[in-house]
Amino acid sequence: MNKKLDLKSLLESKMGNIEPAKNVKSAIERAEMKIPHNLMFDAESNEFKFETKPVTASAARGLTVEEAKAFDDEMNRFIDTVLVAGSDYGIIPRCSKPSLLKPGAEKILNYLGLIARTEVVNRVEDYNIGFFCYECKVFLIDYSGVVKGDGLGLTNSREGKYAKSNAYSVQNVILKMAKKRALVDAALNVGNLSARFTQDVEDIVPSSPSSTMMLMQL
């Protein structure tokens, strides 16, 4: 008679008492200490925990003229070489600048070596009247855990594009839009890109001469 073995349980029972060697355990502990806490989400709340670090005088200094020009030149070269019109940024009629889209913002942050962490800083969820509003903040941090920039985004269910929809069915869309707007805002801020791009113009439908003028000035 063949006897079936539960290999998973057998392995777990054999490995339960295995402890890593002292030198291996010490190496693991040292590696964990070097990982900035704000590169990870809190295990209980799944929310980004803002963490500050002391900045030395050398790190706090501004760029020289040459460094600033080099940064601007390289950023422009990256945009012209890598970003794709129609998917990374949108060309808006009668607007002097294209609108940066989420895929383009993500490419810029990847190029700059920055990680985005999002926090919902304010929310209104009124299920009685079907009104939802979310304000999100995106922190941009480098791989050492230092915050390099941030951005804000706000969306609510009474905006023109959602007003005629069932608010309950677009609640998640509204939250995601707030996160997207915060991400794009952060990318524009950290990359000094306000001269090249605007934001969320694709959400505005010009219905009057005044709104058209607003498009051209953004």
Is 118 among the domain residues?
yes
Q: Which residues fall within 8 angstroms of residue 85, CB to CB, at 6 or more apart?
A: 91, 98
124-146 average pLDDT score: 92
Q: How many CB atoms lie within 10 A of CB 87?
A: 12
For 84, the domain range is 64-217
Is 201 among the domain residues?
yes
Question: Where does the pLDDT of residue 145 fall: very low under 50, low under 70, confident under 90, or very high at 90 and above?
Answer: confident
Is 33 among the domain residues?
no
Look at residues 61, 65, 78, 116 and name the one whose alpha carbon lies nearest to residue 193. 78
Is 44 among the domain residues?
no
Q: How many CB atoms lie within 10 A of CB 124?
A: 11
Is 13 among the domain residues?
no
Q: What is the domain count for the chain?
A: 1
Q: How many CB atoms lie within 10 A of CB 152?
A: 15
Is 81 among the domain residues?
yes
Query: pLDDT, tens digit, for every residue of 51-87?
Result: 655 555 555 567 788 988 999 999 999 999 999 999 9
First to last CA, the chain: 79
Cα 165 from chain centre: 27
Is 136 among the domain residues?
yes
Is 79 among the domain residues?
yes
The CATH number assigned to the domain holding 147 equals: 3.30.390
What's the pTM? 0.70
Look at residues 183, 38, 13 and name the one whose alpha carbon lies nearest to residue 108. 183
The pLDDT value given to residue 216: 38
Question: Where does the pLDDT of residue 168 fall: very low under 50, low under 70, confident under 90, or very high at 90 and above?
Answer: very high
d(CA 84, CA 91): 11
Is 63:74 a contact under the CB 8 Å cutoff?
no
Mean pLDDT of the chain: 78
Which backbone phi and psi does 150 adopt, to 5 degrees?
-150, 175
